[in-house]
């Protein structure tokens, strides 16, 4: 089946199979948070992006990728509670290490009781099996919000694979139609839109696939024409 990126709470996960990685997307919780599981196809190593809610469902997602429930790393994209309500249960149930953007790490640890093994910053690299994930700090929604960028390798064998294409997991910093909530604070909005412009749109091409923290996916090509309108409207 072709990946669509459209999932609903209580429904099944959606699977995208690329040459080196399988990407699973699941919606959980009252705010319909998106949870992503990346599985290295050669090594079986796995990384979860946001153990958001409904720990039994998140653990079931982990088992979809690995029947042994192997989970190497959980990345929490930012400190808001709806992105980490299942973190303690998932970390305890799998033994996975936890990574958080450094400015948000203390808040996540205090709220969840989970040890943050890796405090990451802009430009850091996370290696999970054969998968290389670049940390892109996007300040403004929270001080420590991070995105993860995965670039497909050169060879293409799977129908959905595209050599060199970037897959960007943006948490609540970039959605279809705009950047994340900055509570109408002009300084925070300017910081976030500037980071998104300089660190995402100026670096990655239109084929880049965006996996947000809630709702449907998008591409940078679909959103790029609207950057000026976003800045003008101020949110």
Query: pLDDT tens digits, residue range 63-76?
Result: 999 999 999 999 99
**8 inside domain:** no
| Total number of domains in the chain | 1
pLDDT band at 151 (very low <50, low <70, confident <90, very high): very high
Q: Does the CA dihedral 112-129-142-177 come out positive or negative?
A: negative
Strands 46-49 and 33-40: antiparallel
- Does the structure show a pLDDT above 90 at 160? yes
Question: Per residue in 31-53, pLDDT tens?
Answer: 999 999 999 999 999 999 999 99
| Mean predicted confidence (pLDDT) in 111-127 | 98
Q: Does the pLDDT of residue 1 top 80, yes or no?
A: no
Tell me if 182 is assigned to some domain.
yes
Lookup: tokens for 226: 């609207």
Q: Could you tell me if residue 185 is inside a domain?
A: yes
Identify the CATH number of the domain in which residue 225 sits. Answer: 3.60.15.10
Q: Quote the pLDDT of residue 18.
A: 97
């Amino acid at each position: 089946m072709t990946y669509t990126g459209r999932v609903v709470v209580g429904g099944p996960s959606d699977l995208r199979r690329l040459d080196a990685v399988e990407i699973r997307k699941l919606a959980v919780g009252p705010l319909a948070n998106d949870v992503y599981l990346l599985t290295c196809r050669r090594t079986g190593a796995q990384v979860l992006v946001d153990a958001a809610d409904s720990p039994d469902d998140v653990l079931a997602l982990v088992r979809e990728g690995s029947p042994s429930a192997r989970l190497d790393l959980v990345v929490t994209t930012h400190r808001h509670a709806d992105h980490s309500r299942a973190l303690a249960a998932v970390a305890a149930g799998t033994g996975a290490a936890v990574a958080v953007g450094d400015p948000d790490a203390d808040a996540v640890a205090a709220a969840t009781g989970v040890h943050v093994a890796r405090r990451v910053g802009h430009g850091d690299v996370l290696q999970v099996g054969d998968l290389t994930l670049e940390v892109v700090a996007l300040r403004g929604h929270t001080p420590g919000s991070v995105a993860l960028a995965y670039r497909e390798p050169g060879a293409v064998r799977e129908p959905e694979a595209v050599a060199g294409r970037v897959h960007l997991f943006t948490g609540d910093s970039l959605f279809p139609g705009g950047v994340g909530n900055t509570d109408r604070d002009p300084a925070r909005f300017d910081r976030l839109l500037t980071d998104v412009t300089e660190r995402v749109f100026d670096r990655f091409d239109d084929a880049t696939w965006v996996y947000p923290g809630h709702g449907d996916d998008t591409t940078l090509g679909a959103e790029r024409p609207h950057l000026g309108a976003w800045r003008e409207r101020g949110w």
